[in-house]
Amino acid sequence: MKRSLKTGVAFGLTSGAITTLGLMVGLNSGTHSRLVVLGGILTIAIADACSDALGIHISEESGNVHTPKEIWASTLSTFFSKFLFALTFAVPVILLPLQTAVYVSIAWGLSVLAVLSYFISKEDGNNTAGVIFEHLTIAVFVILVTNYLGGLINTVFS
């Protein structure tokens, strides 16, 4: 059961960080609208948390390795970790100027991803610096691409 919960939380936090940051950065560079960015965060928190939870559920079922209780533990921990973590990105958007909120959110998301990567690599006996670098590189790549894409969409469709 512990492994199932860990799987769900790790997946939910990772997906929550990368998906929410990508959406926020893209929407901000494309619209510069607090309302649009906040709406995107809330949409990700609900729709993508459900999608990820179902994805984990089906993936775990397809392996024919886990008990139904373990599968549901992964499913629910994925949903709640993704949902709650995605909602944390709304706080700076509500409280701070939008551009500052985006920078604070990037720092928050990358920090959580780095800490999660550290603990996972430590437990697995892997090179912690290498794992953290790998995971943060992917996240930064998503942030850069979505920032560029949001600006491009704004330019093409404005």
Where are the alpha helices (H) located in the chain, listed in sequence order?
2-31, 34-43, 49-62, 68-88, 90-95, 98-124, 128-157
* Least confident window among 20-24, 61-65, 82-86, 153-157: 61-65
pLDDT at 125: 86
Tens of pLDDT, residues 119-132: 999 988 889 999 99
**Per-residue tokens: 141:** 């790549």
Tens of pLDDT, residues 84-115: 999 999 999 999 999 999 999 999 999 999 99
Does pTM top 0.85 for this prediction? yes
The pLDDT-based confidence of 4 (bands split at 50, 70, 90) is confident
